[in-house]
């Protein structure tokens, strides 16, 4: 992985202990430095790619990176499932289109007859005129 970004790091001349805090206040101090760092994203990606669990990297705490990794995993799984579903749908559509057209044509042919029949049968069954309107 490319590490040229490290030469532009806002923290390059700082005490590394600042970025390995022991409490939440320390995390916030480090995150304030990261906030104005021009290489925040490559720094975060580096930590994620190298599974760096300790310290503040790319403006994220250890807990935030764990959450991010979980989210990315679930997104990747969802995307993979969606791709598989799309592929299956496309395959079904390719073969099912003919079946659907045939089924519609068959239903349409019998349905028209049924509709005519139903209409013929149901026409006389109209609501009676209200009394006194003749
Ligand atoms: S984002 Fe933070 S930890 Fe990463 S290089 Fe910049 S200042 Fe350092």
Q: Whose CA is nearest to atom 3 of ligand 1?
A: 57
Higher pLDDT among residues 120 and 54, named by residue = 54
- Ligand 1 atom closest to 39 (CA): 6
Averaged pLDDT for residues 29-33? 98
* Cα 3 to middle of ligand 1, angstroms: 12
Query: CA-CA distance, 100 to 98, in Å (whole number)?
Result: 5
- Whether residue 69 has pLDDT greater than 80: yes
Close Cβ partners of 2 (under 8 Å, ≥ 6 residues apart): 42
Query: Region 59-68: what's the mean pLDDT?
Result: 97
> Is pTM beyond 0.85 here?
no
Per-residue confidence (pLDDT) for residue 112, from 0 to 100: 39
Within the chain, where are the H helices? Answer: 24-35, 40-49, 62-122
């Amino acid at each position: 992985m490319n590490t040229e970004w490290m030469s532009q790091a806002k923290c390059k001349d700082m005490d590394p202990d600042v970025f390995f805090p022991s409490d939440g206040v320390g995390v916030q101090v480090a995150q304030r430095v990261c906030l104005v760092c021009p290489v925040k994203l490559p720094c975060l990606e580096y930590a994620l790619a190298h599974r760096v669990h300790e310290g503040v990297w790319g403006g994220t705490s250890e807990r935030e990176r764990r959450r991010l990794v979980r989210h990315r995993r679930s997104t990747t799984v969802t995307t993979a499932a969606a791709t598989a579903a799309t592929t299956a749908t496309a395959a079904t559509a390719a073969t099912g289109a003919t079946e659907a057209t045939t089924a519609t044509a068959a239903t349409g042919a019998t349905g028209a007859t049924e509709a005519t029949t139903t209409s013929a049968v149901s026409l006389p069954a109209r609501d009676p005129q209200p009394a006194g309107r003749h």
